[in-house]
């Protein structure tokens, strides 16, 4: 027997107590997730696959929204997609999104779909703006008009802040991206806030650093690219001069962050409309991260090739996660070596 409060976004509770579901070392609230209809856009991406896997383990009914079928994704190779409802479409197609939200009576939306590669954004800004900005307002508009939606978590980025002299970024830092990818994230972030302030859509925003973990197929990123190079006994490539500073957050910690945020919205109404940084708060230069991977894989003889060709990118970025710790009780459980060990093991098992 369930009690469904009339207030939109209110916490749904059950009379009988349910045992907690432990995932990646943290407890998911079964009273919240069990039998909940959850839409994940960008379901075949790195974060999407890990998040869908977690939600399924927590008892949710997961609807994955994805544009392309990616045969090598974890969704395919580990059979995660077979346990989900898959909707194929593009976030720039509002009718497809609205149909998915309406027909499956979605209660929680994780909007992850985006063009995420900085180099691609520099080469094709218009398609990036369409995917990242128009895609976001399409999802939020569906949430505005369909009353079943109780939570929307929108994935922004640390790059939405643009370049600042004062670091680490805190959530009250202004958003002023300058380059195509950064601007797309600044805009989508502000649009999400607007939908909450103007229409009461229950939305929160995540701002994270660079994700890494098993299943990332974008090998032009530093982590999977370096690991693949080592497995092929090749020198890893660093596109920049190696001195750019970044946050790197292990994917299981990122999943914890998203789950914690959705649960926090249900427990604390004041969380809606807020943005949260998630970080392990150990910024690294790109060359330092490469050296860690080479050391852990026992191939320090493979000296990186430093190309120094990166352009239209922010030089130094890292985040404070104090707000997430204080409000949500979230904190990372994996340091860089622990997360990287799991990541390396995944690629050793899957790269032939």
**According to the model, what pLDDT value does residue 236 have?**
96
Q: What b-and-e string marks burial along 64-101, b requiring 16 or more CB atoms within 10 Å of the CB?
A: bbbbeebeebbbeeeebbeebeebebbbbebebbbebb
Task: Report all structural domains of the chain as residue ranges with CATH numbers, in order of start.
Answer: 17-212+248-282+317-335 (3.40.50.720)
Report whether pLDDT(17) > 70: no
Question: Looking at residues 98-102, what average pLDDT do you find?
Answer: 98
Residue among 181, 195, 258, 347 flagged as catalytic: 181
pLDDT tens across 194-244, in order?
999 999 999 999 999 999 999 999 998 999 999 999 999 999 999 888 899
Contact 44, 70 (CB under 8 A): yes
* CA separation, residue 30 to residues 21, 90, 160, 333 (Å): 6, 31, 33, 21
**According to the model, what pLDDT value does residue 14 have?**
38
Q: Work out the mean pLDDT of the chain and round it to a whole number.
A: 91
In this structure, of 44-53, 67-76, 86-95, the range with the lowest mean pLDDT score is 67-76
User: Peptide bond preceding 256: is omega within 30 degrees of 0, i.e. cis?
Assistant: no
Q: Which residue has the higher pLDDT, 312 or 81?
A: 81
In this structure, of 54-58, 261-265, 308-312, the range with the lowest mean pLDDT score is 308-312
**Token couple for 333:** 């459980």
181 is catalytic: yes
Report whether pLDDT(177) > 50: yes
Find the helix or strand (DSSP H, E) in which 206 lies. strand 203-208
Report whether pLDDT(2) > 50: no
Please state, for a pLDDT cut of 70, what percent of the chain lies above it. 92
**According to the model, what pLDDT value does residue 21 have?**
58
pLDDT tens across 268-315, in order?
999 999 999 999 999 999 999 999 999 999 999 999 999 988 777 788
Question: Looking at residues 309-328, what average pLDDT do you find?
Answer: 90
**C-alpha to C-alpha distance for 288 and 284, rounded to whole angstroms:** 6
**Token couple for 345:** 């093991």
pTM of the predicted protein model: 0.91
**According to the model, what pLDDT value does residue 208 have?**
96
Burial class (CB in 10 A: 0-12, 13-18, 19+), 300: exposed
**According to the model, what pLDDT value does residue 121 have?**
86
**C-alpha to C-alpha distance for 119 and 231, rounded to whole angstroms:** 24
Q: Which of 103, 147, 141 is nearest to 5 (CA)?
A: 147
Burial class (CB in 10 A: 0-12, 13-18, 19+), 312: middle
């Amino acid at each position: 027997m369930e009690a469904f409060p009339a207030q939109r976004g209110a916490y749904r509770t059950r009379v009988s107590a349910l045992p907690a579901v432990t995932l990646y070392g943290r407890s998911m609230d079964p009273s919240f997730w069990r039998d909940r209809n959850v839409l994940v856009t960008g379901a075949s991406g790195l974060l999407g696959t890990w998040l869908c896997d977690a939600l399924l383990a927590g008892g949710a009914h997961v609807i994955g929204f994805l544009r392309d079928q990616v045969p090598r994704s974890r969704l395919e190779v580990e059979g995660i997609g077979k346990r989900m409802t898959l909707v194929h479409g593009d976030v720039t197609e509002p009718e497809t999104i609205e149909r998915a939200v309406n027909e499956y009576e979605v209660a929680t939306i994780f909007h992850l779909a985006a063009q995420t590669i900085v180099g691609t954004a520099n080469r094709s800004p218009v398609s990036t703006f369409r995917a990242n900005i128009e895609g976001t307002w399409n999802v939020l508009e569906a949430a505005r008009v369909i009353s079943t939606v109780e939570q929307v978590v929108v994935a922004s980025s640390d790059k939405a802040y643009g370049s600042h002299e004062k670091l680490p970024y805190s959530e009250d830092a202004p958003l002023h991206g300058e380059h195509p990818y950064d601007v797309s994230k600044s805009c989508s972030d502000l649009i999400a806030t607007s939908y909450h302030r103007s229409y009461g859509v229950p939305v929160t925003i995540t701002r994270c650093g660079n994700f890494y973990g098993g299943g990332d197929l974008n090998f032009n990123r530093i982590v999977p690219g370096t690991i693949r190079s080592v497995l092929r006994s090749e020198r890893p490539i660093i596109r920049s001069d190696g001195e750019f500073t970044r946050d790197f957050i292990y994917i299981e910690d990122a999943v914890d962050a998203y789950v914690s945020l959705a649960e926090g919205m249900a427990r604390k109404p004041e969380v809606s409309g807020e943005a949260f940084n998630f970080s392990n708060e150990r910024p690294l230069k790109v060359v330092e991260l490469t050296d860690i991977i080479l050391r852990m894989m026992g191939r320090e003889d493979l000296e990186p090739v430093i190309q120094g060709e990166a352009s239209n990118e922010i030089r130094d970025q890292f985040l404070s996660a104090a707000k997430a710790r204080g409000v949500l009780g979230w904190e990372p459980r994996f340091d860089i070596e622990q997360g990287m060990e799991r990541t390396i093991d995944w690629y050793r098992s899957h790269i032939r």
